[in-house]
Amino acid sequence: MEHNNLIKKGVVVAVILLFVSVSVIPSTGNRVFFDDITPPVTTCTLNPPEPNGNNSWYVSDVEVTLNATDDMSGVNVTQFRVDGGSIHTYTEPFNISTDGEHTLEYRSIDYAGNVEDWKSVEFKIDQTLPVLDLNYEGEYTINTDIICEVRCMDDTSGIDKVEFYLDESLICTDNEPPYKCIILRAEEKIITAVGLIFNPQFSEENITFFALIVTGVITMPFQPPYGISAKAYDIAGNSGYDSETAPPDENPWGAVFKRLTFLNNYVGYIGIFLINARFNP
| Of the candidates 279, 277, 222, 57, the residue with the CA atom closest to the CA atom of residue 154 | 57
Three-state DSSP class for residue 273:
strand
Q: Answer yes or no: is pLDDT of 16 > 50.
A: no
Residue-level pLDDT at 18: 40
Residue 238: CB partners within 8 Å, gap ≥ 6? 53, 59, 126, 127, 128, 129, 130, 154, 157
Q: Is the pLDDT of residue 105 over 80?
A: yes
pLDDT of residue 146: 79
Rounded (5°) CA angle 194-200-202: 100
Helix (H) or strand (E) holding 108: strand 100-110
Beta strands at 100-110 and 62-69: parallel, antiparallel or unpaired: unpaired
Could you give the CA distance from residue 182 to residue 139 in angstroms, rounded to a whole number?
Answer: 13
What average pLDDT does the segment 73-84 reach?
Answer: 97
Spatial separation of the C-alpha atoms in residues 140 and 224, rounded to whole Å: 13
The residue among 108, 221, 228, 110 whose CA lies nearest residue 171 is 228
Rg (CA), the chain: 40
Q: Contact at 8 Å (CB) between 75 and 87?
A: no
Mean pLDDT of all residues in 193-222:
44
Query: What pLDDT sits at residue 5?
Result: 55
Best-predicted range by mean pLDDT (15-24, 27-36, 44-53, 137-146) = 44-53
Asked whether residue 223 carries a pLDDT value surpassing 70, the answer given is no
Averaged pLDDT for residues 60-78: 97
φ and ψ at residue 216, rounded to 5 degrees: 135, -155
Residue 243 pLDDT greater than 60, yes or no: yes
Indicate whether 91 pLDDT > 80.
yes
193-200's contacts with Cβ under 8 Å and 24+ in sequence apart are 193/279, 193/280, 193/281, 196/281, 197/261
Tell me how long the chain is.
281
Q: pLDDT band for position 121 (50/70/90)? A: very high
Domains, the chain, with CATH or none: 24-125 (2.60.40.10), 131-277 (2.60.40.10)
Alpha carbon distance, N-terminus to C-terminus of the chain: 143
Lowest mean pLDDT among 48-57, 164-173, 186-195: 186-195
Residue 193 φ/ψ region, left for φ over 0, alpha for ψ in the -120 to 50 degree band, beta for the rest: beta
Q: What is the mean pLDDT of residues 89-113?
A: 97
Residue 275: which pLDDT band, with cuts at 50, 70 and 90?
A: low
pTM beyond 0.85: the answer is no
What average pLDDT does the structure give for the chain? 75
pLDDT of residue 189: 45
CA distances from 218 to 20, 141, 169, 182 (A): 101, 13, 20, 22
Q: Does the pLDDT value for residue 55 go beyond 60?
A: yes
| 166 vs 68 pLDDT, higher one | 68
Q: DSSP state, 263? A: -
- At 16 the three-state DSSP class reads helix
Among 29-43, 107-121, 152-166, the range scoring the smallest mean pLDDT is 29-43
Q: pLDDT exceeding 70 applies to what percent of the chain?
A: 57
